[in-house]
Structure 1
């Protein structure tokens, strides 16, 4: 699900944390928060009318909704939870809670852009002052500046979703781009790095901010394994396509074959054929060539799993991924969210916080774990212990994968 489905409300809050470097003091962290508020408003101010008010597809919300929602979330925690004042949040809840505001109808209930921006700027300035005054107060929510970290994490989540929508807006334009550098296939030759069998620590680092599903830290007993130094590249993925990977039933799980039949997928969601018939990619500012060595982006778990079978490999388990990341074995981590083999599950001793609905509803046997962060991610969400999670069919996000054996 995107940020508009699993984001902050009474029952559903930000899925991404904010591991702000410890060298920042509180004032600098508050400055970071204010800067994120300003960037959110700037994204909405410069969005075209369609992006502002209309969803591009069933997975994405109108961009104006993200700003309204982020303001609501600030008000919910700072005013309703801490101060018992719901005068702002109560009338907004039907529009700002993801559960009560289906994506398809969110744009129709937005105010005019100038009104939304003026409302947001005024409330966010006051919310910043309320937050600064509250920090250091009693209670777990304020201890160690938890709420500041939490709100920063929430806002960077929505900024990534906003920028994802901007990329898809470029991909939705009529064909007309001619790439100056066509992509050619290259058979995968993963640079596998070995890790010895042993017991390795995984999970949240002591004394640092983390979300509930990152803990408690545990000792994971791992068999020896090997993991690729880099994610699968565009050129390697094109080789899978040209060798008929999408049409080879044996490479796909039962669920993957059903997904193929339903979607007709035949290439990554972040690829598009141009006027010249060649594949190209996109950024938020326009179409671009696909760099052969860059990680493939916009693939589902089903596609990643099928490619791994084709390459006589597998997807890494998340404990393997984290162990390799902590050992410094993973190059280009943070380029794409990386699918892991695991279903999203609670660690032993899991305790929900700050509310039951942040992680627990998604331990449903349907969501898979992704690790690492993407080029659209803020630094706050790229710590080794952070666990992203999506269902196996999702491919609108900047997701790729690396191989393991």
Structure 2
């Protein structure tokens, strides 16, 4: 039987997902606000479909609730630009998803003893933990959608009360001595790409105590960092040529030239010491070169995070300088496409979490991954020296 605390977590997560969509009208709920993001309404229906697929079609052998929409809610078969037009009316979708979520909570409560506790996916509550984390990732993605919505709706300059001023890059660091360190997650919560857990041999390393702040990043901007080709590698220069940006994705300037940010709720002051986010790997690498540093390998990051020595971890996802790769002994689970397609040399690892990441996926071993061009993902950086 699923513990009551876990059922309460499901109910809370369902509530957050529904509440984010509830404030959108029908046109907004089906609009694609960013090329890399699905319409908000699709995320909601996808979360219900995934619950029904694993709990009902796979564990119970009953695919009546998933058969009709299988290709639509499986990303590999459903192009993002086509998803919005195919959504049902907003009110109907909200009602269907709310009822489906409630039915699945009752199923997880298992008062009728329909779920076989010996099923491989139910062992140690693996499947409920998997679904909680799946929904948490979509909740964070929905917060990206809402941020892009706020950016698209912003029409008039916001006037911050305090001007963001550049500060020098801090050189407070923590040192990692060479040695063998544990790496990876633990079942049943860990995803397949966190396994098999083992030890890694690491060399001496020195990493910044804190992630790069808004004020430090402003120093890079004001020194001409975006205009200095020496700071950008070939891929970074090519990206910058095609995307002539001058600041993080959500930064804007008023008529005085003062910077401010735009978040889920609209424009806001930029906190100088808060971790910068809204930058991609190319920008993170260019900043690191400008600062006389580099990005850390994810194993050094994980080791210091396990030791509790990284300050402010969790304000923004932190780009690491290594491609996403399988650990020794990796086995795809519970399905091939969760991690395997992304071990392609073009996806890079991010560690930590953002201020918008639910608690279910916050752990030192968790591995996020994106291609180097992504700026909408609440990502920043921490330096290594």
- TM-score tier by shorter-chain length is over 0.9
Query: How far off is 1:313 after superposition?
Result: 0.5
Q: Quick check: 2:158–2:254 contact (8 Å CA) kept in 1?
A: yes
Pair 1:308-2:283 in alignment: no
Counterpart for residue 22 of structure 1? none
| 2:176 aligned with 1:195 | yes
Q: 1:30 to 1:313 in 2, by over 3 A?
A: same
Structure 1 residue 188: Cα displacement: 0.6
The CA distance in 2 between the partners of 1:288 and 1:136, in whole Å, is 50
Task: Give the superposition deviation at 1:135.
Answer: 5.5
Partner of residue 394, structure 1: 374
Secondary structure at 2:68 match in 1: helix
Residue deviations 1:44-81 (CA, integer Å, cap 9, x gap):
11124443110111011111111111111111111111
Give runs of aligned pairs for residues 117-136 of structure 1, distance below 5 A. Answer: 117-133=94-110
Retained in 2: the 8 A contact 1:61–1:106? yes
Q: Distance in 1 between matches of 2:59 and 2:358?
A: 27
For residues 95 and 357 of structure 2, what CA distance do their matches in structure 1 show? Answer: 27
* Change in CA separation of 1:319 and 1:104 when aligned onto 2, cut-off 3 Å: same
Q: Distance in 2 between matches of 1:394 and 1:404?
A: 21
The 5 Å alignment of 1:121-270 reads 121-133=98-110, 137-172=117-152, 173-205=154-186, 207-270=187-250
Partners of 1:132 and 1:80 in 2: CA distance: 18
SS of the equivalent of 2:303 reads: helix
Aligned partners of 2:348 and 2:369 also within 8 Å: yes
Answer yes or no: is 1:92 the counterpart of 2:69. Answer: yes
Q: CA deviation at 1:219?
A: 1.0
Shift in CA distance, 275/71, structure 1 to aligned 2, threshold 3 Å: farther
- Give the deviation of 1:275 after TM superposition: 4.2
* Residue aligning to 1:59: 36
Superposition TM-score, scaled by structure 1 size = 0.91
Contact 2:350 2:368 in 1 (8 A): yes
Q: Spell out, residue by residue over 1:60-107, the C-alpha distance to the aligned partner (whole angstroms, 9 max, x if none).
A: 111111111111111111111112222221111232111222111211
1:110 aligned to 2:87? yes
Does the alignment pair 1:280 with 2:260? Answer: yes
Contact 1:190 1:403 in 2 (8 A): no
Kept in 1, the 8 Å contact 2:45–2:93? The answer is yes
1:180 partner SS: coil
* Aligned mates of 1:89, 1:158 — CA distance in 2: 19
Cα pair 1:175 1:273 within 8 Å, conserved: no
Aligned length: 380
1:6 match: none
| Conserved? CA contact 1:195–1:324, under 8 Å | yes
CA contact (8 A) 2:174 2:208 kept: yes
Which whole-Å deviations, capped at 9, do the CAs of 1:348-399 have from their partners, x for residues lacking one?
Answer: 1111111111111100000000000000000111100000000000011100
Which residue of the partner structure matches residue 37 of structure 1?
14
SS in 2 for 1:88: coil
For 1:265 and 1:165, locate their aligned partners in 2 and report how far apart those are by CA, in whole Å. Answer: 20
For residue 369 of structure 1, the aligned residue among 349, 355, 362 is 349
| Aligned twin of 1:8 | none
* Structure 1 residue runs without a partner (length 5+): 1-24
Q: Name whichever of 121-130 and 364-373 sits farther off.
A: 121-130
What CA distance in whole angstroms lies between the structure 1 residues aligned with 2:277 and 2:34?
Answer: 18
- How far apart are the structure 2 equivalents of 1:167 and 1:33? 24
**Shift in alpha-carbon separation, 1:50–1:271, aligned structure 2, 3 A:** farther
Matched, 1:325 2:305: yes
2: CA distance between counterparts of 1:303 and 1:226?
Answer: 21
| Counterpart Cα distance in 1 of 2:268 and 2:136 | 25
Q: 1:336–1:400: 8 Å Cα contact kept in structure 2?
A: yes
Q: CA RMSD, aligned part only?
A: 1.4
Q: CA deviation at 1:176?
A: 2.2
Instruction: Answer yes or no: is 1:298 the counterpart of 2:278.
Output: yes
Moved over 4 A (4+): none
Structure 1 residues 38 and 189, CA, compared in 2 at 3 Å: closer, same or farther?
closer
- 1:319 and 1:346, CA in 2 relative to 1: closer, same or farther beyond 3 A? same
Q: Is the 2:59–2:119 Cα contact (8 Å) retained in structure 1? A: no
Q: Verify: 1:358 aligned to 2:338, yes or no.
A: yes
1:70 maps to 2:47: yes
